[in-house]
Structure 1
Amino acid sequence: MALTMQLFMLVLLPVASLLPPGTQAGEIIGGWEAKLHSRPYMAYLEIQRKGDTYICGGFLVAKNFVLTAAHCKGDKITVKLGAHNIREREESQQVILVGHQYLHLDYGKEPRNNDIMLLKLAKRAKLNRWVKTINLPHTKKKVKPGRKCSVAGWGRTVAWNNLTMATTLQEVDVEVLEDDECMYRHYNASTMMCAGDPEKGKDSAKGDSGGPLVCGKTAHGIVSWGPYRPPGVYTRLSTFIPWIQETMRRLQP
């Protein structure tokens, strides 16, 4: 199916309603169901905003902190950890309210840039075989183009159907690309990274908005924005390590 190259922010995926015209949510296209609890760092975010309910992805980086995209902000956010099937009450699940949302101070000053947010949980998560944290990269450590990474999420599984949403965690492998593969308007190579598989078209290099781009055992990116086909654009985590560390240190009790 021919798809336009109009750029979009991976705005939130509505739970019970269609997206406004001209927007697109995160999705796993051409992927497969993840092995049960193989990604114990994954977080499912249910977001209340102006009376509507949306979803995003996120990932646990400390017992009381989840990283996600800044555009996943809301009036109220509930985090579900240890989930595989988000429509069932699995014994592995922990449901925790977000106490505070901390958007990067420079988010919104430039279109699509600095798309990162720390969520401080109202109570600490209990780490176990179903719920674990994921490593973050060293400051300014870049992933070399050509490396195979992966994304995961509970978003749509059919690009053109807003109602085809996954109930179980989906995943797909993508390749980190040269920055010039994502030289869309507003692309910033210092704060963003490019990944996808334009030839195979397996997904648009997007999990749910806010989910992690994982290379090996480390989260290197956050699902952010892109066109209606791969490659997609991710927040480059290595650029924001000082901000993440300082924010978490300041907010720890």
Structure 2
Amino acid sequence: MSEEVLTSVEDGILVVTINRPEAKNAMTKAAAEGIAAAMDRLDADDSLRVGILTGAGGTFCSGMDLKGFLRGESPSIEGRGFGGVVQKPPVKPLIAAVEGYALAGGLELMIACDLVVANKDAKVGIPEAKRGLVAAAGGVMMLPDQIPERIAMELALTGDFISAERAYELGLINRVTDGSAFQGAKELASRIIANGPLAVRVSKQIIKESRGWSMDERYDRQAQLIGPVFMSEDAREGAAAFAEKRAPNWKGK
């Protein structure tokens, strides 16, 4: 894996760190490849339950590396999009831990994650229009799904940044921390890991996919996904653990 992306494992959490602090973690092709590989590892390894995506040196990601862009380089992976993740996020939960700036492609990375924890001093935005560009890695499409359309329109057309507190008020992020966003993300991850992995995975899948289902088919399609969960060993273990007043021992099957 590229040194532009570092990975480590902590208590079932795969920590993925964009490691270009000298360039405010601007996204390159190599970094995108590193993130894509990390997402494959997250989904393939049963011992990994949650991923955290963060940036080194006090910045999440400042967007596309413009020097690479001028050389004709695209920081995208075919079929997976910008940063190796925006078009194809992992099946397992992914949390963004945001310090400093999440701008342009950095914001698009952030909103591709399932949950977001940000330090109170963080700033987010899609300033592409200020450079004659468009937030094409999902920003102008995904933001209106996550915040009111008029606010998304303002961010896209002005290119202005907003604070973590404002993003929290809009529902764009989950938690604002006074201290380390990474530590806040780890605490949130630990709460997810305490739950049944099958239930977590299918809950995420339904939330993501059901917005495209018609009202007539919703419950039938949900039933197809949750049936195996209700018949699983983990479902029986969860009930037994509750009855016996102990922590469950999840097997993921």
Q: Which of the five TM-score ranges fits, normalised by the shorter chain?
A: under 0.3
Q: Which one has a larger percent strand, Structure 1 or Structure 2?
A: 1
Larger relative helix fraction:
2
With CA pairs under 8 Å and 6+ residues apart, which has the higher RCO, 1 or 2?
1
Q: Determine which structure has more spread, i.e. the larger CA radius of gyration.
A: 2
